[in-house]
A and B are shown apart, each in its own frame.
Chain A
Amino acid sequence: MLEKTVREFMPVLLGTPEGLPDPDIEGQTRFALEYLSAGAKEFKPVYLIAAASFKVLAVLLKRKPWSMLTIEEKDYVANKLFSYSNPLLRSIPLLLAMPILASYYRREEVQMALGFDAKALKADAELRTVTRDRDLPPKCK
């Protein structure tokens, strides 16, 4: 059920990042589930409650059955809920989006497209030797 929920909300909350790599629904869903499982035990049921609440509120806001709503309409609902001053309503898209956004923007090819090459930085860091010695020259690179 959790997997279905993540898959269902991924295109809604992630949008279609133009000029960035396409979403990898399979891999991202796998990671999102792993991330949700690593958190507090209550997180998974709360996530499902948030998803159910989103659907009910979407139907009420757009006056259409959930199955008839387009991605754009669901996108509108997410941003609408987030604009409310009621913290419970606002936290619905916030919570649903967290593992989904993280699962996409953690991907190496996405990060590279955004100018962040973690592998190259790590390789550079590995070349450095930092000791606690106070007498040796400060660095060797």
Chain B
Amino acid sequence: MIIRPEDVKGDITKSADVVVIGSGAGGAPIAKELAVEGRSVVVLEEGAHYTRDDFKLNPLESMMRMYRDAGQTITLGVPSVVAPMGNTLGGTTTINSGTALRMLGPILKKWHMFHGLHDITEDEMGLLYSHLEEYLFVKKADPEVAGPVANTFLEGARKLGLSSGWLPRNAKECEGYGSCAFGCPSGAKQSMDVSFIPDASKSGAEFYTCCRAESIKVSNDVAKGVTGRFVDPSSGRSTGIGITVEAKVVVLAGGAIYSPFFLLRQGLANSSGQVGRNLEIHPAVQTVALMDRPMDPPKGIPQSSHVDEFKDEGIMLEGGTVPPEVHAVTLPFYGKAHAAHMKQYPNMGIFGGMVSDIDSWGRVLALPRAGYSPSIFYSLKGRDVEKARLATVIMAEIWFAAGAKKVFTAITGHTELGSTADLRRLAQSRIRARDIYAMSAYHYLGTCRMGSDPEWSVVKHTGETWDVENLFISDASILPTSPGVNPQLTIMALATRNAGFIDDKLNNG
């Protein structure tokens, strides 16, 4: 059952086997798996419940309703990175691209060697991925639906002999409405709100929406439940109605920014001092190409194709169309020049280059701020700056191979590439992090990392915290490193795995 704030008339007190905070890729699979096993499950979700009727291909309206801070979350550091996050039933899966990739092979070996996570085996992850791929109808994007931007970019990549292809996506019968990031208008994308959550509800799980968890009740280092408060979805202010859930197990699944923020505010589960540290974000640079033929944006699948030639070096190219109002803020001009370029929007395409960050520094802190907002510090450093430059060069080269007349980049001094000579100049240059004027990030990871050493990690391989018994964390924060690709499938796989440990725990009293 999905309970909206208008259905709640007064304070609520409940008891359940499990209470889950958050309904995204980490929370919803646990809720479903345990509900199907006959456990009583209560989920507290801070965002509101929107359905496909609400998804009107209107990006800014969607951002103001379904994104934290209306999509204006920015990291503090050099360069500033725009860091959008979902705040709705289904979490960020409701507003993501639907890319469903498995973690790169060598990453799990790293987890074994450097984080002692030998209990997570390749075979087990393979089974979990297969199960999820079937459950979520994962299949490669249809080239006929993908749209001209993706096809043109891949054409360029093929001319250069680069490994490329169509991305696997959790979308069933997608017809390419170009609006994944603002809510799928046809219900094709198998985000949590149309997959795990309805199935969990059918098995008796209760989802309280517009309900912000405020604290975890802990007694003698054992989690006992959660207290929360209903909030007005537009202002985020408390409605004055509270909820208390007594539970045998508490699962924190607020994502890699809000889960550590929650724990830091309460001073919980942080004897290692690692909560909020080790933040990785997959920073991304973009290129905009002006072609000599219509690209028909934003129709098609916004993120349907990829170039993975450089994935082992930590560079994945994935792209890329956006509606006019989002496109407008990506162009490196203002005033007259901006207006002249925007007129050519129908002939433009966007592609993004995502970097697996290894040298950069990031941390989430709970500093005094107005509203309910963490402070996110992030600075792009060392080899990651070079990777961002390389990603830009490769994308520009691909665009030119595909016939681009001009390519616009996010690197100061190289914002407009009109020829291969300009491209060579960028290819031979050295840049600093401050030279990148626009970066965005969509995958926040590692801030409550898993590991075998309680001094260096926050949770065990089961997802249970080292410090507080029966308190589990299930979201991207537990990933000890980047999975090298979009992480949603890995988050769901670990959540499904950890549901088994929670079930065992409940069986054993």
Contact = CB atoms under 8 A, between A and B. Distances in A.
A109 to B, nearest CB: 12
A20 B324 CA distance: 13
A3 B407 CA distance: 35
B343 A130 contact: no
Interface in B100-130: none
Interface residues of B, number: 66
A86 to B, nearest CB: 8
B325 A13 contact: no
Given A106-B325, A130-B173, A83 B412 contact: yes
A121 B70 CA distance: 24
Interface of A: 12-20, 31, 34-35, 38-43, 71-72, 74-75, 78-79, 82-87, 90-91, 93-94, 97-98, 101-102, 104-106, 110-111, 114-116, 118, 121-122, 124-126, 128, 130, 132, 138-139
A36 B125 CA distance: 43
A41 B236 CA distance: 11
B69 A40 contact: yes
Nearest to B438: A94
Contacts of A74: 335
12 contacts: A12-B335, A20-B339, A79-B334, A85-B435, A101-B329, A102-B325, A105-B325, A118-B56, A125-B177, A125-B186, A130-B186, A132-B172
In the A-B complex, the 10 residue pairs with the closest CB atoms: A75-B335, A15-B339, A41-B370, A38-B70, A39-B72, A125-B185, A78-B334, A17-B339, A118-B57, A106-B325
B493 to A, nearest CB: 20
Contacts of A122: 56-57, 177, 185
B370 A121 contact: no
A113 B187 CA distance: 28
A98 B346 CA distance: 21
Given A101-B325, A110-B324, 20 more contacts: A13-B334, A16-B339, A18-B339, A19-B343, A41-B370, A79-B333, A82-B333, A87-B79, A101-B328, A101-B329, A105-B328, A106-B324, A111-B323, A115-B345, A118-B58, A122-B57, A125-B52, A130-B188, A132-B137, A138-B173
Interface in B185-227: 185-188, 190, 194-195, 198
B342 A13 contact: no
Contact of B338 (A15, A31, A85, A106): A15
Interface in B46-82: 52, 56-60, 63-64, 69-70, 72-74, 78-80
A124 B186 CA distance: 9
B329 A41 contact: no
B72 A40 contact: yes
A100 to B, nearest CB: 9
A58 to B, nearest CB: 13
B339 A75 contact: no
Interface centre among B297, B333, B334, by most chain A C-beta atoms within 10 angstroms, is B334
A126 B175 CA distance: 12
B178 interface: yes
Contact of A130 (B63, B187, B297, B437): B187
Given A20-B343, A83-B412, A102 B172 contact: no
Given A41-B370, A132-B195, A106 B58 contact: yes
B161 interface: no
B224 to A, nearest CB: 33
Contacts of B10: none
A31 B338 CA distance: 20
Contact of B437 (A41, A87, A114, A138): A87
Nearest to A86: B434
Given A38-B64, A102-B60, A15 B299 contact: no
Contacts of B299: 116, 121
Contacts of B413: 85
B57 A121 contact: yes
A15 B335 contact: yes
Given A18-B343, A35-B60, A40-B371, A78 B434 contact: no
Nearest to B333: A79
Contacts of B173: 128, 130, 138-139
Interface string B377-404: 0000000000000000000000000000
B175 A39 contact: no
A10 to B, nearest CB: 11
B195 to A, nearest CB: 7
Interface in B137-155: 137
Nearest to B134: A134
B324 A13 contact: no
B276 interface: no
B141 to A, nearest CB: 16
Interface in B272-325: 294, 296-299, 323-325
A20 B345 CA distance: 12
Contact of A79 (B79, B326, B337): B337
Contacts of B179: 121
Contacts of B39: none
B371 A87 contact: no
A63 to B, nearest CB: 20
Contacts of A98: 329
Contacts of A132: 137, 172, 190, 194-195, 198
A101 B184 CA distance: 24
